[in-house]
């Protein structure tokens, strides 16, 4: 039933005007073919208890389709007309269907009206005779251009929409002999199927191959199609599974597909297709482009070259796969570009692929993967070419054709970075992509080196299943040197500790994280065992080490070092604490005020017989002392101590008088705020 969320009047097309009546009071009394008309602004819900066809006339309405089921009427199931603006909210699983025996749509959108789809539910919508699933129905009369009707505007923001065209209609767009208008997809998951020469998204059947009647091929147009996000799957084949490796499905004996997946139906142009984001898979067949125009005429009768348009713009982060299949395994029914124009007398077209787009373009025999069909025109015997093809440097492109060129190099304006070119007519784009122009094993040279590509003989659609081999990853390695002050080390994130003068093997361009460390000033060997002093040996801090078992002190600040592939690039970013080393001088120099600070410990009342120790660095072992020089110099706090400490660390310092502990303090190691350029900081014990 229709539930009115606001107390608004509802007009019943076959009845008198009822005002402010609850629909539940009379819904059961209505014949199921009685048209319910919503003519006032408001919020409405159509659920499974309301099978009647619905007109939304002139209203600004929000209509929730909640498990709705409207089908098998002698007209379109839902009609949006008279300038109405309707937002359909999808809940549950709804089925909306036109009538195969009557000119009709599932959801008809008259010119001047607007519909928007949103929500999280699923909508299965099917067109009727000569009609789109969502859009307009048409006529079997080939009427003059000035008398043709257009569909209203259609926007999809969300939901799962499965749009199945009626005979000679598009899935989403226009019907037979009707121009498209504007379809915008911002989100959701959309599957759109054309039928009998209608596009998946765009226009229905335009004109036949002979351009009979008054309309010339190209004068019917798909309008403007904009895809900004979501997932979009569009095909001209009725039962398409969108498995581009399924040869049988792509080349099925469909009753006349001849249309683009996204764009023009048979004999129809595509004046503007714009894909700015999202995932898009589009499959044309039987001479129609994957994305672009439908198949053109095979005779010179009434062909208007100047009316033909195929303008396609792909950019942003769009992920696009476009396929033009042969259909019925018949070469005569092939020849559409994957992205560009269809088979026939078609010339021109402007194609731009820019941004960070990822594009896979797969074309059948007789056409470029990107550009124009290369079959001789039946009108004047010439070979069609594209007007303009622009492909940006950051595009990832995989283009395959069995025709003459993977990318139409005969285009009147061709803008492609020459560094991407391979040999002959094979074009290479990025290190993961290749365009080839024959159906055999191909070894080709590119700026990225030799690659082998295997294409199944006699197959077109199976090419989509080819994945270029993973490029060999060449890891450049080099050695960097370590420079630290006396009695300090660096600890890398893998736990490795390096001292001044050590060498470290690294990968070029890879980030390595490290911390500054103080070593233990006691004398220990490489295994951490204490060494025995020779009599009267002078203590040297080089003997100290750091280990994670408590020997020495690790800083808390994490730094990054990266070896550049440049011979001259050297920098330090204070915000990220990142060192970039040049290949010409690969030395990590840890600097004061960046990595450490020298602390000088003093006693306010003089320094005679007064010492300072630091836990894990300079400290008293607690052993019983004997009055020998060796014992005196072994592991003792030092007078007038000056020590380099990692910035950002808190150390436990201890004050001694005559080697007796008199006090201790936690000291945070930082740059002297009053003297930020000075390379040391003074600390005074109050003794």
Domain positions in the chain: 130-397, 477-589, 596-685
Q: What contacts 656, CB < 8 A, 6 or more positions away?
A: 610, 611, 612, 613, 620, 637, 662
Please name the residue that has the structure tokens 């061709």: 414
Q: In the prediction, which pLDDT does 279 show?
A: 95
Q: In the prediction, which pLDDT does 677 show?
A: 84
CB 464 within 8 Å of CB 321: yes
Please name the residue that has the structure tokens 């659920």: 47
Identify the three-state secondary structure at position 352. strand
CB 344 within 8 Å of CB 372: no
Q: 571-573 and 477-483: which strand pairing?
A: unpaired
> How many CB atoms neighbour CB 123 within 10 A?
28
Q: In the prediction, which pLDDT does 296 show?
A: 79
Spatial separation of the C-alpha atoms in residues 172 and 127, rounded to whole Å: 9
Q: In the prediction, which pLDDT does 46 show?
A: 95
pTM equals 0.62
Distances (CA, A) of 545 to 32, 61, 495: 90, 77, 14
Q: Which residues of 599-625 are buried (b: 16+ CB within 10 A; e: fewer)?
A: bebbbeeebeebbbbbebbbbbeeeee
Q: In the prediction, which pLDDT does 250 show?
A: 53
Q: 350-353 and 370-371: which strand pairing?
A: unpaired
Please name the residue that has the structure tokens 């020997």: 551
Q: What angle do CA 90, 87, 156 make, to 5 degrees?
A: 70
Q: In the prediction, which pLDDT does 487 show?
A: 82
Q: In the prediction, which pLDDT does 619 show?
A: 74
Please name the residue that has the structure tokens 């001479």: 287
CB 198 within 8 Å of CB 170: yes
CB 129 within 8 Å of CB 139: no
Q: Which residues of 317-350 are buried (b: 16+ CB within 10 A; e: fewer)?
A: ebbbbbbbbbbbbeeebbbbbbbbbbbbbbbbbb
Q: Block means of pLDDT (10 residues each) for the chain, length 687 residues?
A: 47 31 39 88 93 96 96 94 97 95 95 96 95 92 71 96 93 93 96 92 80 57 96 78 53 66 91 96 87 78 70 95 69 74 78 90 76 75 85 79 73 72 40 38 42 38 34 79 89 92 92 92 54 41 70 90 88 93 91 91 89 84 47 64 90 90 92 84 92
**Phi, psi angle pair for 361, to nearest 5°:** -125, 120
Q: In the prediction, which pLDDT does 423 show?
A: 37
653 beta partners: 614, 665
367 beta partners: 373
Q: Would you mind telling me the total number of residues written for the chain in this entry? A: 687
Identify the three-state secondary structure at position 582. coil
Q: 442-446 and 449-453: which strand pairing?
A: antiparallel
The DSSP call for residue 463 is G
Closest CA to 468 of 449, 482, 486, 496: 449
Token digits of residue 655: 């004050």
DSSP labels, 116-178: EEEESSEEEEE--BTB-SEE-B--SS---GGG--BB-EEEE-SSEEEEE--TT--SEE--TT-
Residue 38: which H helix or E strand, with range? strand 36-38
CB 524 within 8 Å of CB 531: yes
Q: In the prediction, which pLDDT does 287 show?
A: 83
Spatial separation of the C-alpha atoms in residues 204 and 167, rounded to whole Å: 9
CATH number of 596-685: 2.60.40
Helices (H), 384-540: none
C-alpha dihedral (174, 365, 457, 461), degrees to nearest 10: -10
Among left, alpha and beta (phi > 0; psi -120 to 50; other), residue 289 is beta
Token digits of residue 471: 């490029």
CB 559 within 8 Å of CB 596: no
Spatial separation of the C-alpha atoms in residues 417 and 640, rounded to whole Å: 67
> How many CB atoms neighbour CB 16 within 10 A?
7
Token digits of residue 682: 């003074």
292 beta partners: 263, 340
Please name the residue that has the structure tokens 């767009």: 173
CA dihedral for 582, 586, 589, 590, sign (positive or negative): positive
Spatial separation of the C-alpha atoms in residues 20 and 25, rounded to whole Å: 11
Please name the residue that has the structure tokens 């070259």: 305
Token digits of residue 606: 């003089």
Sheet holding 122-126, edge to edge: 69-70, 93-97, 122-126, 160-164, 189-193, 231-235, 279-285, 319-325, 358-363, 396-401
Please name the residue that has the structure tokens 């005979």: 167
Identify the three-state secondary structure at position 541. helix
110 beta partners: 151
Token digits of residue 482: 């370590």
C-alpha dihedral (314, 315, 321, 327), degrees to nearest 10: 0
Token digits of residue 27: 């819904």
């Amino acid at each position: 039933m229709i539930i009115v969320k606001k107390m608004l009047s509802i007009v019943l097309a076959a009845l008198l005007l009822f005002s402010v009546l609850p629909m539940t009071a009379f819904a059961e009394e209505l014949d199921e073919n009685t048209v319910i008309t919503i003519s006032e602004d408001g919020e409405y819900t159509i659920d499974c208890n309301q099978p009647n066809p619905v007109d939304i006339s002139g209203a600004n309405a929000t209509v929730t389709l909640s498990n709705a089921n409207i089908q098998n009427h002698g007209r379109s199931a839902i009609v949006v007309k008279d300038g109405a603006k309707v937002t359909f909210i999808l809940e549950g699983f709804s089925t909306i269907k036109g009538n195969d025996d009557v000119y009709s749509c599932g959801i008809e959108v008259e010119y001047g009206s607007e519909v928007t789809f949103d929500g999280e539910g699923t909508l299965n919508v099917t067109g009727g005779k000569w009609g789109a699933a969502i859009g307009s129905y048409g006529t079997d009369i080939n009427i003059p251009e000035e008398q043709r009707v257009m569909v209203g505007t259609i926007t999809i923001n969300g939901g799962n929409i499965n749009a199945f065209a009626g005979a000679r209609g598009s899935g989403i767009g226009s019907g037979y002999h009707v121009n498209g208008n504007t379809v915008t997809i911002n989100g959701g998951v959309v599957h759109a199927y054309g039928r009998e020469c209608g596009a998946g998204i765009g226009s229905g059947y335009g004109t036949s191959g002979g351009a009979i009647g008054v309309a010339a091929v190209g004068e019917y147009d798909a309008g403007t199609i904009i895809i900004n996000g979501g997932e979009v799957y569009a095909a001209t084949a009725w039962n398409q599974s969108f498995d581009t490796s399924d040869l049988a499905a792509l080349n099925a004996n469909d009753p006349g597909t001849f249309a683009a997946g996204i764009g023009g139906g048979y004999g129809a142009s595509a004046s503007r297709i714009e894909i700015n984001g999202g995932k898009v898979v589009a499959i044309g067949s039987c001479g129609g482009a994957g994305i672009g125009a439908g198949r053109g005429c095979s005779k010179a009768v009434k062909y208007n070259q100047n009316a033909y348009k195929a303008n396609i713009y792909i950019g942003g982060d769009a992920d696009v796969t476009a396929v033009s299949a042969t259909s019925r395994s018949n070469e005569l029914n092939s020849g559409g570009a994957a992205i560009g124009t269809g088979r026939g007398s078609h010339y021109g077209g402007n194609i731009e692929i820019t941004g960070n787009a990822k594009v896979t373009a797969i074309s059948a025999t007789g056409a470029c993967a990107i550009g124009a069909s290369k079959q001789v025109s039946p009108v004047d015997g010439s070979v069609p070419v594209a007007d303009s093809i622009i492909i940006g440097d950051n595009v990832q492109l995989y283009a395959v054709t069995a025709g003459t060129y993977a990318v139409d190099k005969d285009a009147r304006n061709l803008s492609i970075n020459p560094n991407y070119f391979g040999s002959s007519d094979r074009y290479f784009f990025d290190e993961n992509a290749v365009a080839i122009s024959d159906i055999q094993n191909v070894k080709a040279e590119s700026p990225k080196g030799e690659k082998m590509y295997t294409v199944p003989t006699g197959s077109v659609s199976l090419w989509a299943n080819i994945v270029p081999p993973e490029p060999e990853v060449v890891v450049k390695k080099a050695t960097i040197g370590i420079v630290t002050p006396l009695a300090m080390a660096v600890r890398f994130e893998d736990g490795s500790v390096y001292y001044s003068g050590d060498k470290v093997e690294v990968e070029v361009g890879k980030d390595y994280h490290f911390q500054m460390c103080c070593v233990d000033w006691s004398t220990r060997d490489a295994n951490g065992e204490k060494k025995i002093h020779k009599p009267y040996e002078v203590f040297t801090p080089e003997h100290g080490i750091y280990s994670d078992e408590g020997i020495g002190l690790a800083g808390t600040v994490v730094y990054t070092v990266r070896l550049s592939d440049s011979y001259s690039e050297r920098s330090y970013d204070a915000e990220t604490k990142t060192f970039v080393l040049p290949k010409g001088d690969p030395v990590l120099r840890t600097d004061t005020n960046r990595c450490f600070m020298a602390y000088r410990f003093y006693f306010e009342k003089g320094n005679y017989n007064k010492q300072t120790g630091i836990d894990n660095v300079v400290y008293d072992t607690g052993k019983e002392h004997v009055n020998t020089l060796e014992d005196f110099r072994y592991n003792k706090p030092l007078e007038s101590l000056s020590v380099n400490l990692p910035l950002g660390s808190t150390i436990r310092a201890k004050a001694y008088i005559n080697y007796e502990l008199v006090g201790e303090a936690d000291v945070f190691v930082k740059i002297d705020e009053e003297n930020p350029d000075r390379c040391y900081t003074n600390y005074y014990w109050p003794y």
